[in-house]
Amino acid sequence: MVDSCQTCNHCEMDLAQYCADGTPLIIRRKSIAGSFVGIKETQEMLDFCAENNIHPDIGLLDVNQLNEAFTRVKKNDLKYRFVLDM
């Protein structure tokens, strides 16, 4: 979590995504995405999924299939999220 003040009530309660004095962003794998789900809540969800054997449905594609994936996204021909294996 970046750009949160780390001093307001929300930040002190491990809820930096609700920071009133900053613009919190979550940095993931060299990309930036804004989110209102905090790290603590995300970890609780991941723990719950692991304990209950819940897994996402994905389509694993080789990076050479990027054009195919993009074409299918444009056609809205998806049943699950594509993940590119780079």
**Could you read off the pLDDT of 26-79 as tens digits, one per residue?**
555 444 445 556 677 888 888 999 999 998 888 888 989 989 888 988 898 888
Tell me the residue ranges of DSSP E strands in the chain: 26-28, 31-33, 58-62, 81-85
Q: How many beta carbons lie within 10 A of that of residue 24, not counting itself?
A: 22
**Residue 83: per-residue pLDDT:** 86
- Cα–Cα–Cα angle for 9, 3, 46, nearest 5°? 75
